[in-house]
A and B are shown apart, each in its own frame.
Chain A
């Protein structure tokens, strides 16, 4: 993790949840709460990031995540600059670092980076002074997705500690799974990952320890679950011979109403979207009462506002963050500024 010079303990960039402490994660979630309360007001904008510029550098297409970050930045009164690789000089062979340095020269304060290569945001973070927020890198991490998933669970369940969470699908290629695994286990949840054994990465239990277990049988994994996080199935995985057919995948790992009954009656269903209805999740479940899928979208904006707000601090994310009440107070003060 890149740290600013002279501040070994301060976190300059949000590259993943692996390197954050439980207190730092809780701090961001604490700030997200009052951010969300701003949504209910008729004017949803506060001046917290006025004069700051957030560059959205999306080297891989993702309308949802980009829109969510853009809205979060705008609600904090930041200026935004958008970059998408299909319309850019990347196609002309400009390197990632050249692009980042170009934006650095425009004196942007934040670079929100989505990239198909694991570690790309870290490479940029080491080369620029701007704060880098990872918006999803390869099969590595997607920290704001992890945070918004945890925020959504916390809002409904009031706790993370002791919960049983099942993550089902392609764990091998999923950055969402990795950020969830780090965040949830740091806050005390037990996580079962479930999917075809070809899509479970090597050495998973060595990485995450005893709080994570692996299952290849969804019916067993769901027993007593408080939360099910269903991952999107990338259809091109079928070409990699990770499983024989999509039909068989759905048969074995698709979440439907029948299967949902194995979980606790108040079990929440999450999905990072966009969904393949009828593949990894049935429409009944996706549109059913347990589904948090639209709530996740709303919470995503609050969480990303919180991330931008916290990292806009000259010190970055503090090593020992203030407690939740102080965080709330800071945002109340912001509202008064309006």
Chain B
């Protein structure tokens, strides 16, 4: 880790501690020692030499787990590196990032997984969990060495950026990954139906003269993938769902007992395609921003648990690559530093999700999708913690990420992290949160 500061002994006192996995929501003190959650309880006394942090009026929660992040290293270090991307994560309250394997070269082998883990050990501020590609070169033609990558530390397999186009091959991938208890993450998209589309198909695309991506390019792929999960009994995770039909398909599949989970991004529950008129290429993403009915369906899916996790799909791109004609610019926006305040202002404050439900979608929900041993504050567990000021209002004016491609620049949001710990080490501490005198 960049800052080799040793784990401290910290007593975080008087905050509203929310830890859905341990059914805690109330005023609890949290004692962190030797990098672990030492105790959670009422009116704890600070051991000698402990720093005491007054968290009155603040929320104390497990550090966020973002299971869909592009760190761009190796191959596109101008846009982001493991170092800068995990610094952005820490700034956003995210203590675990799951790195997508669509780097250059793609992570489709043991050496790729090892490279990522080694670079993370050298440069990362937060935990980095690697994933491996499903197919060699992400080309959708031949299975990658899934077992060996799992052995090396990959926590899931995905060809993100692409769906696996060949139905037989995806069936094999699911069957095979099941042997290693690995989740298969699908970026669900029927490429032939998507064609050269650059935004949601509909009246707005017609007006702007842009090629459209029909919503069915996603729901057709999800319907197929669910059928295969049903066939194989493997764990399918559908990432960044964007349409009403997708939510309905997953809801129905879960009801039938299919092993399927899903996540959605803050931009899909915050924006609609109209954002393109204001933010141009910073509103160009894949899957594209959809309509108001879709946005509402995503929120409902998050509220009723159909959607297990909120993930940022943090996709950094340099300014030059986004400052192009809309059709030429790459898809994607950064999201690590806005995932929390967007959840607060778009989901919690309007009353769509309670604080505990929101924390579940940001922490233990995503951790469970990939069976990661994080996302809760059980005693004896590594202390990955975020302390949030739910009332702090800030105008978003710049990011720790190397890239600044966000439509949320200039937005006034609430609910920013004040203190972030990874294994008990302080990786973010805002000025407002000074240590209180020990008592």
Q: Is the CB of B326 within 8 A of A119?
A: yes
How far does the Cβ of A23 sit from chain B's closest Cβ, in whole Å?
22
Residue A170 interfacial (CB < 8 Å): no
Q: Is the CB of B202 within 8 A of A119?
A: no
Q: Which residues of A contact B211 (CB under 8 A)?
A: 139
Given the known interface contacts A202-B202, A203-B203, the answer about A118 and B323 at a Cβ–Cβ threshold of 8 Å is no
Q: Is the CB of B212 within 8 A of A202?
A: yes
Q: Which residues of A contact B214 (CB under 8 A)?
A: 202
Nearest opposing residue in chain B for A203, CB measure: B203
Q: Is the CB of B327 within 8 A of A138?
A: yes
Q: Is the CB of B323 within 8 A of A206?
A: no
Nearest opposing residue in chain A for B200, CB measure: A202
Given the known interface contacts A96-B325, A97-B323, the answer about A202 and B201 at a Cβ–Cβ threshold of 8 Å is yes
One of B206, B212, B327 near A207 (C-beta < 8 A): B206
Q: Is the CB of B324 within 8 A of A95?
A: yes
Q: Is the CB of A117 within 8 A of B326?
A: yes
Q: Which residues of B contact A117 (CB under 8 A)?
A: 325-328
Q: What 0/1 pattern do residues 90 to 119 of A give for CB contact below 8 A with B?
A: 000001110000000000000000010111
Q: Is the CB of A118 within 8 A of B203?
A: no
Q: Is the CB of A206 within 8 A of B203?
A: yes
How far does the Cβ of A167 sit from chain B's closest Cβ, in whole Å?
14
How far does the Cβ of A274 sit from chain B's closest Cβ, in whole Å?
21
Given the known interface contacts A203-B203, A207-B203, the answer about A115 and B209 at a Cβ–Cβ threshold of 8 Å is no
Q: What 0/1 pattern do residues 318 to 331 of B give for CB contact below 8 A with A?
A: 00100111111000
* Interchain CA distance A123-B210 in the complex, whole Å: 14
Given the known interface contacts A95-B320, A206-B203, the answer about A178 and B325 at a Cβ–Cβ threshold of 8 Å is no
How far does the Cβ of A101 sit from chain B's closest Cβ, in whole Å?
11
Q: Is the CB of A139 within 8 A of B210?
A: yes
> Using a Cβ–Cβ cut-off of 8 Å, how many residues does chain A contribute to the interface with B?
23
How far does the Cβ of B256 sit from chain A's closest Cβ, in whole Å?
32
* Interchain CA distance A178-B206 in the complex, whole Å: 9
One of B204, B208, B323 near A119 (C-beta < 8 A): B208
Contacts of A199-214 to chain B: CB distance below 8 A: 201-204, 206-207
Q: Which residues of B contact A204 (CB under 8 A)?
A: 203, 206
Nearest opposing residue in chain B for A139, CB measure: B209
Contacts of A32-69 to chain B: CB distance below 8 A: none
How far does the Cβ of B290 sit from chain A's closest Cβ, in whole Å?
13
Residue A13 interfacial (CB < 8 Å): no
Residue B439 interfacial (CB < 8 Å): no
Nearest opposing residue in chain B for A126, CB measure: B280
How far does the Cβ of B118 sit from chain A's closest Cβ, in whole Å?
34
Residue A164 interfacial (CB < 8 Å): no
Q: Which residues of B contact A95 (CB under 8 A)?
A: 320, 323-324
Nearest opposing residue in chain A for B211, CB measure: A139
* Interchain CA distance A178-B327 in the complex, whole Å: 18
Q: Which residues of B contact A202 (CB under 8 A)?
A: 201-203, 205-206, 212, 214
Nearest opposing residue in chain B for A201, CB measure: B206
Residue A149 interfacial (CB < 8 Å): no
Nearest opposing residue in chain B for A124, CB measure: B325
Residue B207 interfacial (CB < 8 Å): yes
How far does the Cβ of A51 sit from chain B's closest Cβ, in whole Å?
32
* Interchain CA distance A140-B209 in the complex, whole Å: 4
Q: Which residues of A contact B205 (CB under 8 A)?
A: 201-203
Q: Which residues of A contact B204 (CB under 8 A)?
A: 203
Residue A221 interfacial (CB < 8 Å): no
Residue A226 interfacial (CB < 8 Å): no
Given the known interface contacts A95-B320, A202-B201, A202-B212, the answer about A123 and B206 at a Cβ–Cβ threshold of 8 Å is no
Q: Is the CB of B210 within 8 A of A118?
A: yes
Q: Is the CB of B325 within 8 A of A140?
A: no
Q: What 0/1 pattern do residues 265 to 297 of B give for CB contact below 8 A with A?
A: 000000000000000100000000000000000
One of A18, A118, A141, A203 near B327 (C-beta < 8 A): A118
Contacts of A244-281 to chain B: CB distance below 8 A: none
* Interchain CA distance A18-B208 in the complex, whole Å: 10
Nearest opposing residue in chain B for A127, CB measure: B323
Contacts of A176-209 to chain B: CB distance below 8 A: 178, 201-204, 206-207
Q: Which residues of B contact A138 (CB under 8 A)?
A: 209-210, 327
How far does the Cβ of B375 sit from chain A's closest Cβ, in whole Å?
41
Residue A28 interfacial (CB < 8 Å): no
Q: Which residues of A contact B320 (CB under 8 A)?
A: 95
Q: Which residues of B contact A139 (CB under 8 A)?
A: 209-211
Given the known interface contacts A95-B324, A96-B325, A117-B326, the answer about A137 and B209 at a Cβ–Cβ threshold of 8 Å is yes
Q: What 0/1 pattern do residues 298 to 342 of B give for CB contact below 8 A with A?
A: 000000000000000000000010011111100000000000000
Given the known interface contacts A95-B320, A95-B324, A96-B324, the answer about A118 and B208 at a Cβ–Cβ threshold of 8 Å is yes
How far does the Cβ of B406 sit from chain A's closest Cβ, in whole Å?
18
* Interchain CA distance A260-B325 in the complex, whole Å: 40
CB<8 Å pairs between A and B, sample of 10: A117-B328, A118-B208, A119-B280, A123-B280, A123-B326, A138-B210, A139-B211, A201-B212, A202-B205, A202-B212
The 7 A-B pairs at the shortest CB distance, nearest first, are namely: A140-B209, A203-B203, A117-B325, A118-B209, A139-B209, A201-B206, A206-B203
Known: A18-B207, A118-B210, A178-B209. 20 other contacts (CB 8 A): A95-B320, A95-B323, A96-B325, A118-B208, A118-B325, A119-B208, A119-B210, A120-B325, A123-B280, A138-B210, A138-B327, A139-B210, A201-B205, A201-B212, A202-B202, A202-B214, A203-B204, A204-B206, A206-B202, A207-B203
